[in-house]
Structure 1
């Protein structure tokens, strides 16, 4: 059965209308694609700040918070955008970050981390860790509850989420109460069945793009010992990580590495909730946002974050 016929029928319009991007040749073209306009919520205030990134240079972060808020401390989530470590910008996920704010009554911080190949590993994860440090050091100014700091992201943002959880644990860094790496890009080896199964270039993300993106991200590290902060599936020990929510589509090349990650987290004693969506390709809920299964998937992870902040000592 070919890829298209396996796609959930209500998602097929996304396959038909999404531009085909082939990396690395189309990288600059893809970066120039306009971000679809969205309606900003009147209940959420968005500001931008310049903070110190992982290299000590200025980095922009976007801050989303309720328009109507008192001086009480709110939970916060660092939301890391996706894009295969080579694409993307916080502006592309404004609507989702606003939804987090409204549903969970929280603050969202989204960093404009450095992208490969201009800035290969470890630039992106160093910027994300710098964001975590800045957030916790600014907790009094931002009125943030330090006992309720979460991290999350999709695709490469999910990979950086998993890496950030490892780095914070290993460095004895700021406490993270919950992580939400959605369909995470965490395995550079391309050895799973699903990473080689999804080859159709209409699949949004597929085998050759995955290989090209990893080569660009790893740079000179590609032929050496790969750090788990680059590819978190390589971590030997997943114990001591925060409670986790993740999901992936059945037709996502990251399906099997996500299942592997979930299995190993569970075996390490980490509380996990996992959802597998049949007939769904990579980032389907963003490509076809009005489909029932897309709305269900997004509502489920938004509510998981809300529950995590309500019961930070429990799973979700």
Structure 2
């Protein structure tokens, strides 16, 4: 399928500013570049508790004996147990931290009246598959096991995330299915990483936007799959998996100017062919993480409405 490969006119000037940054030191590994940038951003936008939403960090010990952070956003209105949005941050699997998405998660908790949690999973390449996935899944088990402490209704769970968070979102849902884990109502994936192979049209077309281009995605998957035998890629990479049946309903959003576009569309088709109900959004002229770069443009506002409406429908089911 051919797309109009033009960046949205509202987005273009904001993207120009975003990508006009000093070059990193020569030879610096890509994960260090992204980690530094995301840590700086997180320090600038980190939020604190208000009268409307309590923000706190809780911890659990993972199966490798490591204390692991879960950032929690709890609306203060009402005493009844609330639905849970279990969020997984992006960063290419090799970077990122919960605080980088504080304003978004705060606003989701406030608007939806749900508890939002964000897991600080281990990063690659130091901790390749399955360690990030294990952290995410074990974090979900911990929250559900301690539903009273988190003030959540364990029958009302959505798992969501963007980019690498989208990869880990659907992987958590697959693991929950395979291990008879928590019932998940919806898997919400924004511009998800879903395929390590570089053979899609969008991988070949989107190479120099400057946000998350195909070579960056290739590097991210190299980090995620470091030391993993190729024979096991079908356990780690969603688009390589054969059995996608009996998974939660899915919400998938991709931009036409994102190198991950075609992988997301293909995964939506595979889920649908496996009997999973899918809501797919293909957003014209949008790049990777467009809503984070330019939250005030009309397309980002429309996307926010579509996303929150999907979450409301899931929680009300």
1:226 matched to 2:232? The reply is yes
Residues 48 and 232 (structure 1), Cα distance of their counterparts in 2 relative to 1, 3 Å cut? same
1:170 matched to 2:178? The reply is yes
Say whether the 8 Å CA contact 1:163–1:228 is kept in structure 2. Answer: no
The offset of 1:236, in angstroms, is 0.3
The offset of 1:115, in angstroms, is 0.4
Aligned length: 306
Residues 129 and 107 (structure 1), Cα distance of their counterparts in 2 relative to 1, 3 Å cut? same
With structure 2 as the length reference, what TM-score do the two structures score?
0.91
Structure 1 residue corresponding to 2:73, chosen from 64, 74, 82:
64
**Cα distance in structure 1, aligned partners of 2:181 and 2:49:** 33
Structure 1 vs Structure 2 CA RMSD? 2.1
Unaligned runs of 5+ residues in structure 2 are none
Say whether the 8 Å CA contact 1:24–1:212 is kept in structure 2. Answer: no
The offset of 1:226, in angstroms, is 3.5
Structure 1 residue corresponding to 2:125, chosen from 98, 117, 128:
117
Residues 290 and 173 (structure 1), Cα distance of their counterparts in 2 relative to 1, 3 Å cut? same
Deviation by residue 1:219-278 (Cα, 9 ceiling, x = unmatched): 111x52234452111110111000111111001111111111111111111111111100
Say whether the 8 Å CA contact 2:88–2:169 is kept in structure 1. Answer: yes
Deviation by residue 1:113-140 (Cα, 9 ceiling, x = unmatched): 0001111111110000101110110012
More displaced, 280-289 or 40-49? 40-49
Structure 2 residue corresponding to 1:263, chosen from 264, 269, 272:
269
Structure 2 residue corresponding to 1:52, chosen from 54, 61, 72:
61
Report SS of the residue matched to 2:281.
strand
Which residue matches 1:242?
A: 248
**Cα distance in structure 2, aligned partners of 1:63 and 1:229:** 30
1:279 matched to 2:285? The reply is yes
**Cα distance in structure 2, aligned partners of 1:216 and 1:14:** 30
Which residue matches 1:29?
A: 33
Report SS of the residue matched to 1:51.
strand
Structure 1 residue corresponding to 2:213, chosen from 202, 206, 209:
206
